[in-house]
Structure 1
Amino acid sequence: MDYLFNSCPEIEEIKEDLQNNRLDSAAEKTQQFVNKQNNVPLNIGITGESGSGKSTFVNAFRGITNSDEGAAPTGVVETTSEVTPYPHPNYPNVTLWDLPGIGTTRFPADKYLKLVEFEKFDFFIIISETRFRENDVKLAQEIQKMGKKFYFVRSKIDNDVRSEKRSQREFNEETTLAQIRENCIKGLQKQDFETSQVFLVSSFDLHLYDFRLLEETLERELPEHKRNALLFAVPGVSMEIINKKKEALQSQIKYYALLSAGVGAVPVPGVSLVADIAIIVGVVTKYVFAFGLDIPSLKRLAQTTGVPYEDLINVIISPLAATTITTDLIIKVLQSLGSTAALIAAEEGCRFIPVLGIPLAMGLSFTSTYRILSAFLDMLANDAHRVFKKALGLNTSV
């Protein structure tokens, strides 16, 4: 197993710090190693004609409301006059760029892509509140020529559904949505643009309509190394998204366990635990953010759904949610996991065994870290299920 770590400079630096009893430095570098895994950049361009709901979509995608600090400004007139980045509050490597409306005086259609610096975006979302117009089609054609992905999103669907419900004696939501989708597709076809997919989205109710389908499509068509960046940043607005987040996080645990085992190879009794705890603190913090179980995210969820914050907190069982993940908290929770605590103690005991002690300690370090992170991930995923169901007024049993 050791060859896996000799090729990793970060591990070697951590080993050196531990061997020289620089425990604070070792813990800090271990945390930096964990954080580095979350820094794959993803840049999403949100564009369309002025007033189409771009800024509200940017805010909703980032899990914040229009009134939150750092929100993209919204209004009944064009509020975006320049290319403006809006990093995700929990994943700053994911940035949504609120682009000025195409066809405005400052951003004419024929020069639009050059002016917004087309090259830096991974893909574009083209938004319209009614039907897609000539400028939207021109933009899609230019993006297509340059070999990048784009997606048509028909916004403000909640307004259309409410209007139809009031005006029709026998209202059927599925029929209304199908008609809106078909009308958008036919409108694009009339402008000589062939597409079979338009996503219907309400930025105020992402759990409804086509947002989950949009997320699935984006994830499927992104390069593999960018998929998790999108998945972790997107709001957990469906059970499917929550489960996919858990699956992706579970697949990463072996790497953190290997990191733990590599540090466990250092023949200094007691200090491996310092690095292990630093790894666990960083990874569990990532879990909390991915599932939206941090306090700011829960408060925003309460605000957008109308479910009191206290009611959301009351369905949480794990001590790891709705709090700050600290070393003391992790140690306290570990003490309640008897079998895992025994593994950690056995790891330290192995160090005193001649010749075979260090390899045994490495194996036990891998096993204990893997079990701990798996158990904590299960706890938080179950809490995310309960919170999601409570927010939607569903049965909160998992």
Structure 2
Amino acid sequence: MDNPHDIEQIAAIKEELQTNGPASAAAKIQDYLDKQDNVQLNIAITGESGSGKSTFVNAFRGIPNRDKERAAPSGVKETTTDPTPYPHPNYPKVTLWDLPGIGTIRFPADEYLKKVGFDRYDFFIIISADRFRENDVKLAKEIQKMGKKFYFVRSKIDNNIRDEKKTRGSEFNDEEILKEIREDCIQGLEGHVESPRVFLVSSFELHLYDFRLLEKTFAEELPANKRKVLLLALPNVSLEIIRKKKGALQANIKYLAAGSALGALAPVPGLSVAVDMAMMVKTTSKYQATFGLDSESLQSLAQTVGMPVEELRAVMTSPLAAQEISTEVIIKVLSSSLIFISLMAVEEGSRWLPLIGFPAAMAASAACTYKSLSMFLDMLAEDAQKVFEKALGLNTSV
């Protein structure tokens, strides 16, 4: 069922079609899609030096620390000397800003927000490798005063779990350890920050612990347009995120199909099909990147989990798997579908029928686009689930 925003948008497109004609309606659809692609999201990652900010930035973007060209430099010392932007590799409008550690000589706590450019960020993630300290509390209070969201992230949880397992031996219980760490962090913040929430995260194992809870909190508190672009840029750390991504991408197919239908009115044989092919290549490439199935993303995932990339490619079964999307690839996949061939023939043939030709062409074009993109999305979402299961497994109950 369409949400209220979709119903409103569809009504506006229909009105544009009736008032100003197909070209204007098609332009309105394209403008709507372009606005979605141009939504900017700036996320500030801050905390004291050595807290794991840079490693978190890299993990969020799906880039291993060892990638010297694209990764934020990380280490035990403070490696960030100025606010540094790191755009998402597949969604460059989503930028994570690695901020200098608060309380350093160049960035004292009382001047921190001004010096790092507070206004540019949509929300802040305050990271600590142990207890949150006085500077973290000061920062949170100032952010709260200025009406923006912030989230406390306790990093390097995997190290704590490993150390406690060695110490406690047979009495070790991971859920009890996590509860103790969370309560200890919250107690240190209570009385200073209103209703503090702390998320326990391992940047090397985002599929474990609280990262999924952090993602759900973002979804509840961000505006709808920014919520969607954040979802699409998230790493695939759970099957639920893959399903949510599929749903978000599926919601746009009706607009692409409507644009295809309006394009079918062009009185030039073959033009509509050519335009649709270019759109399908672009859209399917976007699906592939969103699910992390392009070559670069697969290579990064393989490095992160310590697995040969060939093993990840081997579990992908769709004809779109592990290759660059091109017109030839799209045609090859669609040529096996009798429905597609029939609809394409109907579109071109019906264009010249008197009176009913254009409506028939529009219906065929819309149906062809909708069915084709839905099929591609299903294929790639299924491959994404298989790659996730191979790379990370399903033991994500912690």
Deviation string 1:40-99 (CA, Å, 9 cap, x unpaired) is 110000000111000000000000011112211111110000010000111111000000
Which AA in structure 2 matches 1:177? L
Q: Do residues 280 (structure 1) and 260 (structure 2) align?
A: no
Other-structure match for 2:252 = 252
Give the C-alpha shift of residue 33 in structure 1: 8.8
Other-structure match for 1:185 = 186
Which AA in structure 2 matches 1:364? A
Question: Is the contact between residue 22 and residue 262 of structure 2 (CA under 8 Å) also seen in structure 1?
Answer: no
SS at match of 1:43: strand
Question: Is the contact between residue 250 and residue 377 of structure 1 (CA under 8 Å) also seen in structure 2?
Answer: yes
**CA 1:96–1:32 in structure 2 vs 1: closer, same or farther (change >3 Å)?**
same
Which AA in structure 2 matches 1:54? K
Structure 1 CA distance for aligned equivalents of residues 183 and 175 of structure 2: 12
Structure 2 CA distance for aligned equivalents of residues 223 and 300 of structure 1: 30
Q: Choose 355-364 or 80-89, whichever is displaced more.
A: 355-364
Matches within 5 A, 1:83-102: 83-102=83-102
SS at match of 1:74: coil
Other-structure match for 2:4 = none
Deviation string 1:267-314 (CA, Å, 9 cap, x unpaired) is 222110011111111111110011001111111111111232111111
Which AA in structure 2 matches 1:51? G
Deviation string 1:200-227 (CA, Å, 9 cap, x unpaired) is 0000111111111111111221101111
Other-structure match for 1:375 = 375
**CA 1:50–1:325 in structure 2 vs 1: closer, same or farther (change >3 Å)?**
same
Structure 2 CA distance for aligned equivalents of residues 187 and 260 of structure 1: 57
Other-structure match for 2:3 = none
Structure 2 CA distance for aligned equivalents of residues 2 and 14 of structure 1: 10
Other-structure match for 1:56 = 55
Q: In angstroms, what is the RMSD of aligned CA positions?
A: 2.2
Where does structure 2 lack aligned partners over 5 or more consecutive residues? 1-12
Give the C-alpha shift of residue 109 in structure 1: 0.7
Structure 2 CA distance for aligned equivalents of residues 13 and 257 of structure 1: 13
**CA 1:129–1:9 in structure 2 vs 1: closer, same or farther (change >3 Å)?**
farther
Q: Choose 63-72 or 299-308, whichever is displaced more.
A: 299-308
Other-structure match for 1:224 = 224
SS at match of 1:127: strand
Structure 2 CA distance for aligned equivalents of residues 335 and 7 of structure 1: 38
Structure 2 CA distance for aligned equivalents of residues 281 and 179 of structure 1: 50
Other-structure match for 2:175 = 174
Question: Is the contact between residue 2 and residue 262 of structure 1 (CA under 8 Å) also seen in structure 2?
Answer: no
Structure 2 CA distance for aligned equivalents of residues 2 and 75 of structure 1: 55
Other-structure match for 2:194 = 194
Other-structure match for 2:391 = 391
SS at match of 2:252: helix
Question: Is the contact between residue 17 and residue 25 of structure 2 (CA under 8 Å) also seen in structure 1?
Answer: no
Deviation string 1:361-389 (CA, Å, 9 cap, x unpaired) is 11111111000011110000100111111
Structure 2 CA distance for aligned equivalents of residues 249 and 7 of structure 1: 29
Deviation string 1:223-275 (CA, Å, 9 cap, x unpaired) is 01111110111101100100000011111110111111111121222110011
Structure 2 CA distance for aligned equivalents of residues 392 and 312 of structure 1: 11
Matches within 5 A, 1:14-33: none
**CA 1:8–1:313 in structure 2 vs 1: closer, same or farther (change >3 Å)?**
farther
Q: Choose 120-129 or 194-203, whichever is displaced more.
A: 194-203
Structure 2 CA distance for aligned equivalents of residues 155 and 181 of structure 1: 11
**CA 1:97–1:9 in structure 2 vs 1: closer, same or farther (change >3 Å)?**
farther
Question: Is the contact between residue 26 and residue 262 of structure 2 (CA under 8 Å) also seen in structure 1?
Answer: no
Deviation string 1:129-160 (CA, Å, 9 cap, x unpaired) is 00100110110011001110000000000000
Other-structure match for 2:350 = 350
**CA 1:8–1:308 in structure 2 vs 1: closer, same or farther (change >3 Å)?**
farther
SS at match of 1:159: helix
SS at match of 1:168: helix
Deviation string 1:316-347 (CA, Å, 9 cap, x unpaired) is 01122321111111111110122122111111
Other-structure match for 2:319 = 319
Structure 1 CA distance for aligned equivalents of residues 181 and 373 of structure 2: 45
Question: Is the contact between residue 267 and residue 358 of structure 1 (CA under 8 Å) also seen in structure 2?
Answer: no
SS at match of 2:50: coil
**CA 1:58–1:10 in structure 2 vs 1: closer, same or farther (change >3 Å)?**
farther
Structure 1 CA distance for aligned equivalents of residues 34 and 310 of structure 2: 31
Which AA in structure 1 matches 2:179? A
* TM norm structure 2: 0.91
Question: Is the contact between residue 45 and residue 127 of structure 2 (CA under 8 Å) also seen in structure 1?
Answer: yes
